Chains A and B, each alone.
Chain A
Amino acid sequence: MTAEKCPPANAEGSSQKPPYLGFGLGLRPQHYQDILEGNPNVDWFEVISENYMVPGGQPLKMLDRIRARYPIVMHGVSLSIASTAPLNEGYLRDLKALAKRSEPVFISDHLCWTGVHGVNLHDLLPVPYTREALDHVAARVHHVQEYLGQAIALENVSSYVQFSHSEMSEWEFIAELTRRTGCWLVFDVNNVFVSAFNHDFDAYAFIAGVPKERIVQFHLAGHEHNMSHIIDTHDAIVCDEVWDLYRTALRHFGPVSAIIERDDHIPPLDELVAELDVARSVAAEMLKPAAADA
């Protein structure tokens, strides 16, 4: 198969870097009422795009109400940017319509694929870090950014396998992808920790290898440690090792908007807000000198 010719580098270079948003949470339906009736110490919310790509009803009404009070970021799971299946134009149309309605600060998805041959495995599947894959993904990022009229952000995923024919590291792949396309990066601290353990690489090499000026968001989440490998479950509190990596990331990248993600065993809002306060404290402690300069 011949790789697609890559469009000119940094075609979206004119996009403004999204502003710093502070400390947010992934919006979950269980918390709608507490958010609207209380005044939780949350600066912004990240919404799962697909949860609101529905015809009407309560999800969109709640999104409108929360959007009226908080900045939001749209975070998708089904763009399948690295798939060799054709881009799903209907999905892109619905995504663009949702963005028009809810005016997110930016739109993100994952550097992964979710299926081929018309099938969706509803998982974030790993990419071989080859030149062919890079050309392919870069061309699709260009297409999506042109269609949406804005640069998107892509998140590094947790992976459990790597491919022996990869030609570069994950961070080299990501760095080159951002250089070619001008896309932003969601730096998932937990996912770096998980993949580093699963593939025996140094998480600090990842941090040093991605372009700091492209990072627009941190993700923090919990995982399940199986001793021989770690599974990214998003069902537990952020562990000490991930907090440590967050400190390192803050030292390297400086202030970056951050969220806590929880997708299973979702606790009451108060507990997540308390965990978010830990993220605030860690960031305040790590960024003290920068704060004094300002």
Chain B
Amino acid sequence: MTAKPPSLAELQTRFQAAIVDGSDDVLALIPANSRTSNAVLLGVYRNAYVGRLVEVVRNAYPMLARHMGDEAFTLMAQRYVALYPSRHANARWYASEVPELLSRDPFVAEPELREIALLERQLDLAFDAPDAPVLDLAGLAQHPPETWGGLAFVPHPSAAVLDFETNAFEIWRALKDEEAAPAAVLEGPHAFLVWRRNTVPSVRRLGAEEHMLWSEAARGKAFAGLAEMAAVYDDPDTAALRVAQYLNGWLSAGLISKAVT
């Protein structure tokens, strides 16, 4: 008795289930070769699936892998592969939900894991974020000084702020420099700015005042408004000067795409 052959759609559903869920149902449609069983041959796809995606995760989070150690990282990545089937045409984006997995049990007990992952993911996003013009001091000088108070600054599309609680950045930096990483500790709220400088992803710490001003500038607040906020935050006599200094830093770092009125 021969069963009716499956449609292409049915075959693909069963084949995918065999790879992702380990179902053996599709084996009935696969002959052995002259040297080995059909299970061994199907196993090539099964093994390659997990192995390939674990490598995608490892390549996306190299310092996290170094911090966790090979065995723990591989277990985490295998868990990710099991819980997060790829929905992406491009494997480039496959590992982007690793920080979400790390915010869950049991990983949440080590909050620096998620923050290291967030940092690595953001650096990756900055690497191939959209291109945009970069405004420099000479470009800003095209605007007459009397208009500066009304100027707002459009951030480069690669720029993003990360809010951390742990010393994940110091751990990441030490691992990257192949130095002994400090023990993970809770530091309280602090922030980092990640962006692409020319073609190179960059990161630096933001002080509390700069964090506030950058966030407001990114929301479209103009120079005069930023100076007013700075005047409330700290010494009002030097507020405009401080904002000008921050702005100078943003311009020279390639963080601003354009100034608009």
Q: B48 at interface (Cβ–Cβ under 8 A)? A: yes
Q: B175 at interface (Cβ–Cβ under 8 A)? A: no
**Counting chain B CB atoms within 10 Å of each CB, which of A130, A136, A163 scores highest?**
A163
A117-B7 contact, Cβ under 8 Å, with A56-B131, A125-B45:
no
A231-B44 contact, Cβ under 8 Å, with A84-B9, A122-B86:
yes
Q: Of residues 31 to 51 in B, which have CB atoms within 8 Å of A's CB atoms?
A: 31, 33-36, 38, 40-42, 44-45, 48-49
Min C-beta distance of B6 to chain A, whole Å: 7
A119-B20 contact, Cβ under 8 Å, with A56-B130, A162-B31:
yes
Q: A16 at interface (Cβ–Cβ under 8 A)? A: no
Chain A residue at minimal CB-CB distance from B3? A165
B86 touches A57 (CB 8 A): no
B16 touches A122 (CB 8 A): no
> Could you tell me the distance between the alpha carbons of A132 and B8 in the complex, rounded to whole angstroms?
7
A165 touches B29 (CB 8 A): yes
Contacts of A125 in B (CB 8 A): 12, 15, 45
Contacts of A115 in B (CB 8 A): 16, 86
> Could you tell me the distance between the alpha carbons of A275 and B128 in the complex, rounded to whole angstroms?
32
Contacts of A82 in B (CB 8 A): 8
Chain A residue at minimal CB-CB distance from B88? A120
B91 touches A50 (CB 8 A): yes
A1 touches B31 (CB 8 A): no
Q: A253 at interface (Cβ–Cβ under 8 A)? A: no
Q: B192 at interface (Cβ–Cβ under 8 A)? A: no
Q: B176 at interface (Cβ–Cβ under 8 A)? A: no
Q: Which of the segments A35-43, A58-66, A174-182, A183-191 contacts the partner chain? A: A58-66
Contacts of A228 in B (CB 8 A): 33, 35-36, 40
Q: How many residues of B contact A (CB 8 A)?
A: 50
Q: Of residues 105 to 133 in A, which have CB atoms within 8 Å of B's CB atoms?
A: 113, 115-123, 125, 128, 130, 132-133
Contacts of B87 in A (CB 8 A): 118-120
**Counting chain A CB atoms within 10 Å of each CB, which of B48, B49, B94 scores highest?**
B48
Q: B261 at interface (Cβ–Cβ under 8 A)? A: no
Q: B89 at interface (Cβ–Cβ under 8 A)? A: yes
A83 touches B36 (CB 8 A): no
Q: B142 at interface (Cβ–Cβ under 8 A)? A: no
Min C-beta distance of A294 to chain B, whole Å: 43
A229 touches B44 (CB 8 A): yes
A128-B45 contact, Cβ under 8 Å, with A50-B89, A121-B16, A122-B56:
no
B8 touches A120 (CB 8 A): no
B128 touches A56 (CB 8 A): yes
B: residues with CB less than 8 A from A are 5-9, 11-13, 15-16, 19-20, 29-31, 33-36, 38, 40-42, 44-45, 48-49, 52-53, 56, 85-92, 94, 126-132, 157-158, 196, 199
A: residues with CB less than 8 A from B are 1, 50-51, 53-61, 78, 82-84, 88, 90-91, 113, 115-123, 125, 128, 130, 132-133, 136, 160-165, 198-200, 227-229, 231
- 23 A-B pairs with CB atoms under 8 Å apart are A1-B7, A55-B130, A55-B131, A57-B158, A58-B199, A83-B12, A84-B8, A116-B12, A119-B16, A119-B20, A119-B85, A123-B49, A128-B8, A130-B8, A160-B44, A161-B30, A164-B30, A198-B41, A199-B33, A228-B35, A228-B40, A229-B33, A229-B36
